[in-house]
């Protein structure tokens, strides 16, 4: 399989309003992508389309070699992992952490309708230990710190051995140390030669680690620039993205930005 994601001339409208337009995007096997954009730019809508929660109004979408309209979307979703703060907010705080992790095998949140085996819990414990949250095994989800909760969600996503793993602003609400620990965990996943392709959505360019080979910038419902990380994260492109005079400084292979002035671009 050459392409993980293929979108060609994709448009999506809701109630007559065009939310996405002119989307042409390809993610090849072996690439990891970061997506940057302001609130309301269309980032989450794009992710919902990748997951098959919405379908294009026009254009074609192919995910993991499966073309929308010619595939079982429910089976396709089982091949995709999803981690987001919004998902964590919907989890019953009384569920045990390992139950949440195991439920990922069944594309569920919790084990109410699932019948897991002992080996599933063994696998869950291994994943949790690899993410340095083995100490939370047997603990209610609600008693975990915010950083631990995010790692539980990562372990849940990995439970089904996904081919594509999507992170939707996973560091929201984390302090600096917890954020860096979470990024280290994501880096660990990306460096696994048998690991999934990663799509990472964020507001913060310093989170675009060297493991991300490519970056796409979304503005007003379209990808206006995409390419190799270092070619996209530049003063010029970010100034256009934020409509401000932006300066980018690289340090330890990570980019940091600051405002040069308050003037518009």
- Entry pTM: 0.91
pLDDT of the residue at 105: 86
Residue 1 has pLDDT above 70, yes or no: no
Instruction: Note the pLDDT of residue 265.
Output: 56
Q: By the 8 A CB rule, do 133 and 49 touch? A: no
Mean pLDDT over the full length of the chain: 91
> For residue 224, what are the contacts with CB-CB under 8 A and spacing of at least 6?
217, 218, 240, 241
Residue in this structure with the two tokens 């997506």, named with its chain if needed: 35
- Output the pLDDT for position 262: 59
DSSP assignment of 135-162 equals GGTTSBGGGS-HHHHHHHHHHHHHTT--
Q: What percent of the chain has pLDDT over 70?
A: 97
Separation of alpha carbons 251 and 231, rounded Å: 16
């Amino acid at each position: 399989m050459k392409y993980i994601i293929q979108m060609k001339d994709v448009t999506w409208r809701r109630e007559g309003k065009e939310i996405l337009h002119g989307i042409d995007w390809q993610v090849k096997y072996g690439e990891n992508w970061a997506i940057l954009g302001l609130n309301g730019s269309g980032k989450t809508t794009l992710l919902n389309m990748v997951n098959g929660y919405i379908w294009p109004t026009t254009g074609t979408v192919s995910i993991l070699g499966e073309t929308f309209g010619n595939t079982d979307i429910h089976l396709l979703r089982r091949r995709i992992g999803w981690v987001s703060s919004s998902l964590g907010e919907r989890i019953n705080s009384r569920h045990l952490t390992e139950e949440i992790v195991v439920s990922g095998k069944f594309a569920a949140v919790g084990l109410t309708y699932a019948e897991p085996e002992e080996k599933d819990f063994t696998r869950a414990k291994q994943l949790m230990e690899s993410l340095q949250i083995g100490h939370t095994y047997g603990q209610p989800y609600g008693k975990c710190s915010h950083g631990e909760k995010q790692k539980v969600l990562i372990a849940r996503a990995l439970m089904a051995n996904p081919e594509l793993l999507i992170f939707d602003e996973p560091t929201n609400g984390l302090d600096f140390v917890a954020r860096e620990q979470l990024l280290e965990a994501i880096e660990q996943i990306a460096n696994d030669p048998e690991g999934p392709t990663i799509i990472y959505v964020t507001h913060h360019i310093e989170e675009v680690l060297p493991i991300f080979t490519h970056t796409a910038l979304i503005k007003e419902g379209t990808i206006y620039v995409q390419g190799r990380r270092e070619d996209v994260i530049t003063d010029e492109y970010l100034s256009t993205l934020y409509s401000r005079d932006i300066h980018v400084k690289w340090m330890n292979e990570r980019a940091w930005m600051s405002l040069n002035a308050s003037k518009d671009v």
